[in-house]
Amino acid sequence: MESASNNGMCELETPAAIAPGPYRVVWNDAVETNDRPAVSRALARHALNLADEVCAHALLMPARAVAEDEDLKRLMLASQKQIILVAGENTPAPAWCSQSPHVAWINVPEVPMTRGAQVKVGVLVALAQGLLSPTQRVVCLSGVDASRSMDACLVLNLETETELFSAADTVLLCSGVSPVVFERVLLLASQLATEGREGRPVGATFIIGDSDAVLAESRPLVLNPFHGYPESERNILDPKVEETIKEFSAIDGAFIIRGDGVVLAAGMQLVPTHSGPQLANGLGTRHATACAMTATCQAVAIVISQSTGTISIFRAGTLVTDIRRPLTGGRLA
265-289: average pLDDT:
82
* pLDDT score of 120: 85
Just give the CATH number of 179-323: 3.40.1700.10
Query: What's the confidence (pLDDT) of residue 175?
Result: 59
Would you say 58 and 84 are in contact if contact means Cβ atoms under 8 Å apart?
yes
Dihedral over alpha carbons 203, 198, 249, 325 (to 10 degrees): -30
pLDDT at 71: 87
pLDDT in tens, 203-248: 999 999 999 999 999 999 999 999 999 999 999 999 889 889 999 9
Percent of the chain scored above 70 by pLDDT? 80
Q: Where in the chain is the domain with CATH 3.40.1380.20?
A: 2-157
Confidence of residue 255 (pLDDT cuts 50, 70, 90): very high
Task: Give residue 32's pLDDT band: very low, low, confident or very high (50, 70, 90).
Answer: very low
- Average pLDDT of the residues of the chain: 81
φ, ψ at 98 (rounded to 5°)? -75, -5
pLDDT of residue 333: 58
* pLDDT given for residue 316 in this prediction: 85
Return the pLDDT at 308.
Answer: 85
Q: Is the pLDDT of residue 25 over 90?
A: no
The larger pLDDT score, comparing residue 206 to residue 157, is at 206
Sign of CA dihedral 47, 105, 163, 52: negative
Candidate from 57-61, 196-200, 233-237, 322-326 with smallest mean pLDDT: 322-326
Query: Which string of b and e fits 319-330 if b means at least 16 CB within 10 Å?
Result: bbbbbbbeeeee
Q: Which of 88-97, 239-248, 318-327 has the lowest mean pLDDT?
A: 318-327
Residue 24 is predicted with a pLDDT of 41
Predicted pLDDT of residue 172 = 53
Given a cut of 60, whether residue 177 has pLDDT beyond it is: yes
Domain with CATH 3.40.1700.10 in the chain: 179-323
Question: How high is the pLDDT of residue 97?
Answer: 92
pLDDT at position 330 is: 55
Q: CB count, 10 Å around CB of 232? A: 8
**pLDDT computed for residue 165 by the predictor:** 57
**Rounded CA gap, 60 and 55, in Å?**
14
CATH tag, 2-157: 3.40.1380.20
